Structure 1
């Protein structure tokens, strides 16, 4: 020991100390942490191992052993019978889900007309696993062979075949998974909607394209009926090769039927995804109402039309933008959106026209567009029991307007119409659960403005219509220019109001049952002498003024009222009274909205002495569509007979006495006239009730 080096002794001591420290036992905390970590690693390894084992088992077996489990779970969740009659595969390949089923059938609910909603000889799909776990249905590619799909609504349009679960649950819209690419062969799709009277049978096949940049085109063709009118359709999804990596599908669709041709082209985000589509629509046909029948809604009839529009679907709304085209001889542009708030169809539109032909307005109020197309303005007249009829008789499609709501703004810069100077039309249309309002409907006419509010209430039966039409002061010279009245020398104005309420499904019926009042007021102004004297048949004054060269000298109108009280569709003069500086013009009679007949008489009593005056009523008879005028009235013939008798008994000079007008007409108090008061409220300038304006009630018989 004494011979050993001291440094060796120290090194040995240090090594022994380190050894003792290494041999010291671990603390409890250290021992627990170690065990937890080890257990975690073991569990993770076990899970990974099990997943790997499961993946391996599924990959090797292709998941064929899951067939009974799949049928049981699918049948329970859908409350339908789901069966696989042949091979079944369900596994990860290698990451995406792979599904294969042969002779797969999914049954229909008991009320359906076909036993199965879906059956296919073979269906093969590749789906994204991660989106599938989180509830997103995305199919990368689909291979479907000899499939049959039955899509139908029940007769009440409450249930459909593709809404699974409780068969009494209201049907939901068809919601297909996103399919990026598909190969479909020998597959048929059947669609039935009894409420829309729509049936369609479509065959789908994939065509191998030889000379295009597309590898496969999914083509479809078929036909059906819409409201008992047949249609055909052809089209295709032109799937580019890069679709499987997120490319876009080109679509083309051509539809013909119900005298309508429609072409749609553009791109889809995916083969079955409309949301976000970028499409072009071109449609033409005989009547635009036929096209909207596809939606089960009613719009006004039109003449032949042609339109183009951009079309897309965003946030559940179909948007028609940059809409442009023509109907008849008129143009139309704007935008339209179709949505389904609260599962009820809603149409919003903002439209405008630069120029509208008056003939094209006819179908809007119920005239037959085919007759208008063939006959023009004459097409507004038809014969009923041998008499001409002018009022339109097309029924309001009550059931159709119950299916949707609408809000439409429409503006027209100019209306092309002979003898009717109309421009700057502004219309707001609102349809709210069968209550249709045209309010306001305004337009400029001959320097004045016509404003109206019309409400058609189809919530009950019979349909009730309220009319409130107002014409602001309008220059008579400009208004009547088209009928031969020149503006020079005529400074009089005219204003009017119509307030009526009627019942019925057509314009003719609502007017034929209407009650209310029509009043046309003429404030002070001037009118040509010729017009006044001709209405008076004052032959002496007329000839004198003609020889003196004063034919166009104006006669002053103090005030005037042409008013009718309407009872059950029959309008009675109440009153017709025009006071001028030379005479008082009076009218009696009725016209009827029931048969459109006219029976009115006008006469003029002079305020001044006239040697030769007819002073006999001028009759207006016939019908709205064919009015007649009677100048040689029975009263005038009677006075002529008296004149002949006096000439024979006394002297030829005495015959003139029968045509002398002593000029005793009673001037009118203009207050009641300008207020549009009824006949019973009219007074003379001396405040006495007038006894020459009738009672405002038709004579019996």
Structure 2
């Protein structure tokens, strides 16, 4: 088989010559790049950058460039770059030396990509305007995002930064110092300024190389001790990207006077709280913030759990699970519009209580005209800033005073401006209160509805002082169904309508207490001599029709085997006043009885209980008249013939279960509807 003819010598020589020329050209270019007098281009570069940016740019001493295949390394010995005329600081950057890498091919796409930037003794003046203009945008249009360089690693030594962001109400000055003897954290920084009108300061340390954007490098270490007004945050950990804190993984501690005040800074609608001290592991990946192993105190209560805040959704979402081993009732005041008590305000070390709070506490307790219902306007505007789904459980509740709460749990859901507490479950007096509360903040005033059921509460725990009289009560059931509008708890109750009722069946009741309430002197003397004993409680019912803030007594009855009590009257939630009359009808005969109606009236802050004067005066006049004939006959005026009869408990309890007025029925029905929020499932 014939073989292919070999290439002719002239053709081979042409290929060799062409290869030599290409190689020589490449070598010449490399030699040119290596030995090119780049500093001769310093003046043209100064003019070109100044013309393109519309502000003065100057390499003050020397220019050098090292070319690579994908990027170039540019070195400036002395640099001054002016800010736009509208900026506060005259210079964007002034530095003894500057060195940066710049990507060739990104320039063709009108993008400035600087994978690395090194500054020696820099002074930076950064400013952001509310209209989007930035001093570090390098085009003539400083609001055009295409002119903002993308910077990867940044390394600084001694220097300073001034930063002004009017939209965020942030104005700060930072000083840096570099010392290699500090190990992994050689850069110290100190920050002073103001944030939203409050003084701000911070100190800390970082690694010598900071990452403004992701460049595939490992996270760098960072420490911070930050103070804004009375709020303090300390943290230690690592962060992958400084520009948006992506890849943050740090152990943080925070304390301050009120979590609700963090809303402007964080955009998270946290509740109003007493002073707090919290710690946990803070992480950020993309738009997801997480706090793991959260623990600490809210006033006198402990708190723990895990939380997540997702900003990637169209409406940011807060989720998590929280729990308290012990929750103190004083700490709930700020949540419903009350100031923290002196106990709660002084509970967190390192956070000063508001000045004079102890005196304010004392003055309020001693002021009979004070308002009891919280009247502070609740900030419902924040409820539209995010959605939420958070569960909370308190294993034990303390400092409950008259109301013996045992434990509690609630699921807090916020969807499109509608807040629901559902299910809400409270352990009270060995029973429970369960139901839901709904606040529609899309309306003004807010539409608020409460539907709560009371089941199996022990009466002797509701009135613990009676236990000294060896009382053994029955079990109490009831309900609260109220709906209305208002931007505070007081305003809502003053406009609410619905049904409030509490009822109980058979049980035991102290006869001695009963005779005191009935003003039966003869029976009291007998029991003091012979000893107290319990009488049968046949039934009891307290039920009100609520119409636009006025609670009208529908059924007020207390029936025992000894006496039946009938009540009438009303409670005004707007004026915070009450006027109730209780009439006794004994079922037995007795002497020394001063049977006269009991009256409870006055304000919520200073209720007053006493007997009706007119009936008592009538008995007194009769006694005086009979005493004029014979002193012993005066006792006749105090003889009780016992006209009381057993109540029809079935009828009483049935009546107490149903609102009678039209407005009360409509309000109760609306409260129990609890419609699904718009957009919800």
TM-score range, shorter chain: 0.7 to 0.9
State the Cα RMSD in Å: 4.5
Deviations 1:37-86 (A, max 9, x none): x99x999998877766665555525498699899989999xxx7576344
Match of 1:222 in 2: 192
Question: Higher mean Cα deviation, 655-664 or 446-455?
Answer: 655-664
Question: Take 1:395 and 1:594, find their aligned partners in 2: how far apart are those partners?
Answer: 15
Q: Does 1:84 align with 2:57?
A: yes
Q: Deviations over 1:2-54 (max 9, x none)?
A: xxxxxxxxxxxxxxxx9xx78x978xxx99xx999x99x99999887776666
Q: CA deviation at 1:116?
A: 8.6
Which runs of structure 2 are paired with 1:420-569 in the superposition (5 Å)? Answer: 420-481=403-464, 483-485=465-467, 489-549=471-531, 551-552=532-533, 554-569=534-549
Alignment of 1:186-585 (within 5 A): 186-194=159-167, 198-209=169-180, 211-213=181-183, 216-226=186-196, 228-239=197-208, 246=217, 248-269=219-240, 274-342=245-313, 344-369=315-340, 371-372=342-343, 373=345, 379=361, 382=364, 387-417=369-399, 418-481=401-464, 483-485=465-467, 489-549=471-531, 551-552=532-533, 554-585=534-565
Q: Paired residue for 1:97, among 48, 66, 72?
A: 72
Q: Which moved more, 1:266-275 or 1:451-460?
A: 266-275
What is the SS of the residue equivalent to 1:351? strand
Change (3 A) 1:541 1:139: same
Displacement after TM superposition at 1:520 (Å): 0.9
Q: 1:399: Cα distance to partner? A: 3.4
Matched residues in 2 for 1:519 and 1:166: separation?
A: 72
Match of 2:118 in 1: 142
CA deviation vs aligned residue, 1:216-260 (integer Å, no higher than 9, x gap)? 41524222133x322222223232899999565321211123212
SS of equivalent residue, structure 2 residue 419: strand
Equivalent residues of 2:544, 2:554 under 8 A apart: yes
Query: Are residues 182 and 381 of structure 1, via their aligned partners in 2, closer, same or farther at CA, if it must alter by over 3 Å?
Result: same
User: What secondary structure, in the 3-state scheme, does the structure 2 residue paired with 1:616 have?
Assistant: coil
Q: Tell me the distance in 1 between the aligned counterparts of 2:145 and 2:566.
A: 67
Q: Secondary structure at the match of 2:208?
A: strand
Q: Distance in 2 between matches of 1:171 and 1:503?
A: 46
**In 2, Cα distance between the equivalents of 1:171 and 1:280?**
34
For 1:159-180, what per-residue CA distance to the aligned partner results, in whole angstroms no more than 9, with x for missing partners? 87778999899999x996431x
- Give, in angstroms, the shift of residue 624 of structure 1: 1.8
Distance 1:241 1:459, change over 3 A: closer
Matches of 1:654 and 1:136, distance apart in 2: 112
Q: Which residue is 1:663 aligned to? A: 642
For structure 1, the 5+ residue unaligned runs are 1-17, 683-701
Contact kept, 8 Å, 1:368 with 1:379, in 2: the verdict is: no
- 1:639 matches 2:639: no
Matching residue of 1:152:
128
Asked if the contact 2:336/2:378 (under 8 Å) is kept, the reply is: no
- The answer to whether the 8 A contact 2:186-2:208 is kept is yes
The 1-side partners of 2:490 and 2:412 are apart by 21
Task: Provide closer, same or farther for how the CA distance between residues 354 and 667 of structure 1 changes in structure 2, counting only shifts above 3 A.
Answer: same
Between the two proteins, the alignment pairs up a number of residues equal to 637
Unpaired runs of 5+ in structure 2?
347-356, 662-681
Contact 1:264 1:280 (C-alpha < 8 Å) held by counterparts? yes
Give 1:390 shift.
1.8
Q: Which one has a bigger Cα radius of gyration? A: 1
Partners of 1:289 and 1:588 lie apart in 2 by: 43
Once the 2 structures are TM-superposed, how far is the Cα of residue 521 of structure 1 from its aligned partner?
1.0
Counterpart in the other structure of 1:178: 152
Task: State the TM-score, normalized to the length of structure 1.
Answer: 0.77
Matches within 5 A, 1:25-40: none
Q: In the superposition, relative to structure 1, how do residues 536 and 581 fare at CA in structure 2: closer, same or farther (>3 Å)?
A: same
Contact 2:469-2:510 within 8 A present in 1 as well: no
* 1:530–1:328 distance in 2 versus 1, CA, 3 Å: same
